[in-house]
């Protein structure tokens, strides 16, 4: 991403789970915004504008629900071996922010991203990584879980890129949502499946008495990265705009069954209007999530959108 942020994937194709890591260069500024009722995160409070650390050294997006948080140890080990981290009197402490999706009921419940898998993702990270769909953290993702996994469609990992006059913004995200993924016109492109096509997730919720027994757990995770010069407050606003992008593409979003989280990173290379960056962050997030489901592959008995269309 951006030529300065390295991206790496590692996954278990049989267990249907995986992780994706973003290795952040020195001098970047970062922010995060967590919404929804079921987040699973690590080292997010540290990124608030009022805290000491302005950026993380890496972002980890992982499957495995709360078990996947432990995979961050592999990223820390990789960074520590290379002398990357926050300097302290006791030595370097790598700052690894992480967020997880729930995929335990898609493949093998015992298959979970661990430190070894995350270390492998770091070792394989590169500037030109552009795979989408069923890769890394997207391996076990599903969307449209209002009626449970059997009626859902495959989710995945997607990307969006924009560049002009030296300015760049790139968005990467995994969509594993309670709601459907829709296009600009509001038409479902992946989500709850019925006998005759996709069902309207929002209407289903409104006519139902509740979904506690069938909904599973869900989360959409996003990383917005730009080479614009932004301060901590501006980067925090960028993360907020990422959530506007989630709301454009996922309906409904930010429910009590979702743990939606957006990380934002600015590497500070070019002067750009913050308003333009925010607009592109929202638009790019929506497009990345749409791309994720259109590049996904069928697995675990769950079809992909490209097969249905």
Write out the chain's pLDDT in tens, 309 residues: 778 999 999 999 999 999 999 999 999 999 999 998 889 999 998 888 777 777 899 999 999 999 999 999 999 999 999 999 999 999 999 999 999 999 999 999 999 999 999 999 999 999 999 999 999 999 999 999 998 889 999 999 999 999 999 999 999 999 999 999 999 999 999 999 998 889 999 999 888 765 555 556 799 999 999 999 999 999 999 999 999 999 999 999 999 889 999 999 999 999 999 999 999 999 999 999 999 999 999 999 999 999 887
pLDDT of residue 54: 73
- Residue indicated by tokens 């270390």: 119
Domain boundaries of the chain, sorted by first residue: 6-308
Domain topology for 6-308:
3.60.70
pLDDT of residue 211: 58
Q: Where are the beta strands (DSSP E) in 177-218?
A: 180-182, 188-190, 193-194, 197-198
Give CA–CA dist 79/188, Å, rounded: 41
Instruction: Give how far Cα 124 sits from Cα of 56, 71, 157, Å.
Output: 19, 15, 17
Q: What is the 3-state secondary structure (H, E, C) of 150-187?
A: HHCEECEEEEEEEEECCEEEEEEEEEECCCEEECCCCC
DSSP class of residue 24 equals P
Q: Are 230 and 268 in contact (CB under 8 A)?
A: yes
pLDDT of residue 153: 97
Q: Are 120 and 12 in contact (CB under 8 A)?
A: no
pLDDT of residue 212: 53
Instruction: Give how far Cα 279 sits from Cα of 55, 72, 275, Å.
Output: 22, 31, 6
């Amino acid at each position: 991403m951006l030529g300065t942020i390295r991206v790496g994937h590692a996954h278990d194709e049989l267990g249907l789970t995986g992780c994706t890591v973003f290795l952040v260069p020195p001098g970047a500024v970062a922010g995060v915004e967590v919404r929804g009722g079921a987040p699973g995160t690590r080292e997010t409070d540290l990124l608030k504008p009022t805290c000491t650390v302005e950026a993380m050294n890496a972002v980890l997006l992982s499957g495995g629900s709360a078990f996947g948080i432990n995979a961050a140890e592999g990223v820390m080990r990789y960074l520590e071996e290379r002398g990357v981290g926050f300097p302290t009197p006791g030595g370097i402490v790598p700052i690894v922010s992480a967020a997880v999706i729930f995929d335990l009921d898609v493949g093998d419940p015992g298959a979970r991203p661990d430190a070894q898998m995350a270390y492998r993702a770091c070792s394989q990270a590169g500037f030109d990584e552009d795979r989408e769909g069923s890769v890394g953290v997207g391996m076990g993702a599903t969307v449209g879980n209002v009626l449970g996994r059997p009626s859902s469609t495959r989710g995945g990992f997607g990307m969006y890129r924009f560049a002009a006059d030296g300015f760049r913004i790139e968005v990467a995200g995994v969509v594993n949502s309670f709601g459907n993924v829709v296009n600009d016109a509001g038409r479902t492109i992946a989500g709850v499946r019925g006998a005759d096509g996709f069902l309207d997730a929002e209407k289903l919720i409104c006519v139902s008495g509740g979904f506690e027994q069938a909904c599973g757990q869900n989360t959409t995770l996003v990383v917005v990265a730009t080479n614009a010069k932004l301060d901590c407050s501006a980067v925090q606003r960028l993360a907020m705009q990422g959530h506007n992008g989630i709301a454009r593409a996922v309906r409904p979003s930010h429910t009590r069954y979702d743990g939606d989280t957006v990380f934002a990173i600015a590497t500070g290379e070019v002067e750009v209007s913050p308003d333009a960056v925010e607009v592109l962050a929202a638009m790019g997030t929506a497009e990345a999530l749409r791309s994720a489901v259109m590049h996904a592959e069928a697995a675990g008995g769950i079809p992909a959108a490209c097969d249905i269309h």
